[in-house]
Structure formats: structure tokens, C-alpha cells
Amino acid sequence: MSNILWKIQDTANKYVTVLSQILKVDVVIVDLNLIRVAGTVRYKEKNNLNMSDEGHIAKMVIETGEKKIISNPKENEICKNCPERLNCVETFHMNAPIKLNGKGHRYHSLCMYY
């Protein structure tokens, strides 16, 4: 699926832009290797860059295939090892797997930040 996601990168960028405008949040799509395929607002300039240093929640979602919703990232247990925790500007974080036909042992990730 990683190859498919990169083939539709332009469409993915349009998709995250629409979601961002409707929901009033930043949206990012990352591939299996935690490379940003698409992103909005503060993440747009970081497309095609590796986010493994700051993407520990996305990594967890990719590995487990389970969504994560965090209402207060600075204080949530899941964020305790994040190097940016004390400087975090996020007040809400949702991360969900992107599955192809509901199958696969590894997934991509759709992240939304507020």
C-alpha cells in the first residue's frame, strides 16, 4: 500500500486540505516508514520528511492498527516519552490507521491535531 499512497500523493494532499478546512484542525497522512505523504498548515512544509522522532503515536497506530484519541497531549500517559511534550502546542490528537480493503498487517496513519 505504501506505493499506492505515494502514487496518489496529490489526491491525499487535497483530501487533508478539505478535512482540515471542514474540521478546523491540522491533518497529516504518513506512510509505514513515518514519512509525511500529505499535511496541512504547520505540517505542509514537512511533506516528504521523516517524522519518526516526533511520531511515536503514529508509529503505535501503524503497528497495532488501532486508533488513538488524546484529549490533552501534554498530560496524557501515552505522550510521556515524547521529546516535545513540554513544548507541545496540540490540545487534541487523533490518529487512525488507513487500511486498504480492511486488510494488512501494517497500516498507514491519518493524524489530526488541534
Q: What is the pLDDT of residue 32?
A: 86
Q: What is the pLDDT of residue 104?
A: 53
Residue 93 has pLDDT above 80, yes or no: yes
pLDDT tens for 41-89 read 766 677 778 888 878 888 888 888 899 999 888 888 888 888 878 888 8
2 pLDDT more than 70: no
Q: DSSP label at 41?
A: G
pLDDT at residue number 78: 86
Q: What is the pLDDT of residue 44?
A: 67
pTM for the predicted model, two decimal places: 0.84
Backbone phi and psi for residue 23, each to the nearest 5 degrees, phi listed first: -90, -10
- Rounded Cα distance between 7 and 93, Å, is 27
Give SS3 for 80: coil
pLDDT at 101 over 90: no
